[in-house]
Amino acid sequence: MSNHRADVYGLSEAELAEVCLDAGLPAFRARQVFEWAQGRAVTEWAEMKNIGAADRDALAARLALKPPEPVRESAAPDGTRKFLFRLEDGETIETVLMDYHKDRSRSRATVCLSVQAGCAVGCPFCATGRMGFRRDLSAGEITGQLLALTARMRRLDADFHVSNAVFMGMGEPFYNMTPFLKAARLLNEARGQNIGMRRMTVSTSGVVPGILRLAAENTQIGLAVSLHAGTDELRDKIVPLNRKYPLAALMAACGEYVRLTGRRVTFEIALTRENTTETQARAVAALLRGMPAHVNLIPINAVAGSTAERPSPAKAAAFRQELARRGLTVTVREEKGGDIEAACGQLQAGF
């Protein structure tokens, strides 16, 4: 029976109000539950101090307050922490905390959220892709990662607060669009975590209908596209989804996102020997010409079983210079968490 109770972490205040109405409880209880669960990240009904025991019991009979259970945690010296969470049905997912340093107070803490257990896209360089697809996560399981992590971190630092959320963990967000969007909106709520939409970024392997939907929703969530190559021939090999949504369609959708949101797009390129040639630099520059774009180069991480090889430092530098010379804004992603396997393409629900 407990399986049929709606997950508190996935409900808006209006949805909670319906539950309260159904339970014969005053409507203001909905706001209180929302503030406790989404805003203060409590994980137990008993922590909701301004709700009497009888009302808490009535709510608990209708609603599940079941945060993802942290079963393992590892911390790297650079502040990166990786959490393995177990979901109600036993599936495990990973969530990563980055850019967090207690001595820098709470000004910045970025959480990388998973949206699916496993992933169906199967990018060859990605550990998650090699797991295969397990299942979609619900909105409550997506917000729940951030809330459970916050509850855990507040035991170490009472002021802990997440400032930025990136949907870049396990899974393809645009293959789980509705729960992803709902989770983003819940995290954005002023009475919830109050994370600005402009402080959220969603990363896609290039699902064109998803990019168009995000553009149409005009949420101001940032868009990052895993580009990885400037030609269809090479991108077909690195991102299998390119065969379904080739570069011309991908670029047209990104153009639509820019037109409707006024935001620039981040294009990610994981540096390998194959995609750092001068031909590829020229092709990438031609693709992005005239588009408000930012290119983020990612030093590829060693994943067991991956066939991609890193370019030499000189080749990587030459590639970067060539893109910049052609007028693109280029940054190199800082390598964080590599030693605990929490970097992009390394999440695989095991430590």
The one catalytic residue among 13, 20, 94, 126: 94
- By beta-carbon proximity to ligand SF4, the closer residue of 129 and 222 is 129
- By beta-carbon proximity to ligand SF4, the closer residue of 33 and 183 is 183
Asked if residue 345 binds ligand SF4 (CB under 6 A), the reply is yes
Asked if residue 271 binds ligand SF4 (CB under 6 A), the reply is no
Asked if residue 266 binds ligand SF4 (CB under 6 A), the reply is no
Q: Whole-number minimum distance, CB 122 to ligand SF4, in Å?
A: 5
Terminus-to-terminus CA distance in the chain, angstroms?
A: 33
Question: Alpha-carbon distance 58 to 146, whole Å?
Answer: 26
Half-sphere exposure of 79 (CA within 13 A, CB side): 15
68, 69, 246, 295, 331 from 278: Cα distances, Å: 46, 47, 21, 16, 18
Q: Whole-number minimum distance, CB 182 to ligand SF4, in Å?
A: 20
- By beta-carbon proximity to ligand SF4, the closer residue of 37 and 126 is 126
80, 233, 237, 238, 341 from 228: Cα distances, Å: 25, 12, 10, 7, 20
Question: Alpha-carbon distance 167 to 176, whole Å?
Answer: 11
- By beta-carbon proximity to ligand SF4, the closer residue of 11 and 269 is 269
Report the residue from 7, 94, 141, 172 that binds ligand SF4 according to the rule CB under 6 A. 172
A 10 A CB-CB count for 121 gives 20
Q: Whole-number minimum distance, CB 330 to ligand SF4, in Å?
A: 21
74 closest CA partner among 66, 83, 65? 83
Report the residue from 129, 222, 311, 337 that binds ligand SF4 according to the rule CB under 6 A. 129
- For residue 171, what are the contacts with CB-CB under 8 A and spacing of at least 6? 114, 115, 116, 117, 118, 119, 128, 136, 137
Tell me the window of 25-33, 58-66, 123-131, 328-336 that interacts with ligand SF4 (CB under 6 A).
Answer: 123-131
Cβ(200)–Cβ(187) below 8 Å: yes
Asked if residue 211 binds ligand SF4 (CB under 6 A), the reply is no
Retrieve residue 165's tokens: 């959320």
The b/e string for 151-166 (b: 16+ C-beta within 10 A; e otherwise) is bbbeeeeeebbbbbbb
Instruction: Kindly tell me the burial class for residue 346, based on how many C-beta atoms sit within 10 Å of its own C-beta (0-12, 13-18, 19 or more).
Output: buried
Q: Whole-number minimum distance, CB 51 to ligand SF4, in Å?
A: 39
Could you confirm whether 344 is annotated as catalytic? yes
- By beta-carbon proximity to ligand SF4, the closer residue of 122 and 246 is 122
Asked if residue 39 binds ligand SF4 (CB under 6 A), the reply is no
Asked if residue 205 binds ligand SF4 (CB under 6 A), the reply is yes
A 10 A CB-CB count for 70 gives 16
- By beta-carbon proximity to ligand SF4, the closer residue of 121 and 328 is 121
253 closest CA partner among 208, 283, 287? 208
Vertex 232 angle, CA 309 and 321, to 5°? 55
Asked if residue 136 binds ligand SF4 (CB under 6 A), the reply is no
Tell me the window of 121-129, 148-156, 188-196, 243-251 that interacts with ligand SF4 (CB under 6 A).
Answer: 121-129
Asked if residue 276 binds ligand SF4 (CB under 6 A), the reply is no
Tell me the window of 58-66, 70-78, 169-177, 324-332 that interacts with ligand SF4 (CB under 6 A).
Answer: 169-177
Number of residues located near ligand SF4, criterion CB under 6 A: 12
Q: Whole-number minimum distance, CB 219 to ligand SF4, in Å?
A: 21
Question: Alpha-carbon distance 117 to 194, whole Å?
Answer: 26
Could you confirm whether 126 is annotated as catalytic? no
- By beta-carbon proximity to ligand SF4, the closer residue of 39 and 240 is 240
Q: Whole-number minimum distance, CB 123 to ligand SF4, in Å?
A: 3
Asked if residue 128 binds ligand SF4 (CB under 6 A), the reply is yes
Residue positions annotated with a catalytic role = 94, 344
Which residues lie near ligand SF4 (CB under 6 A)? 119, 121-123, 126, 128-129, 170-172, 205, 345
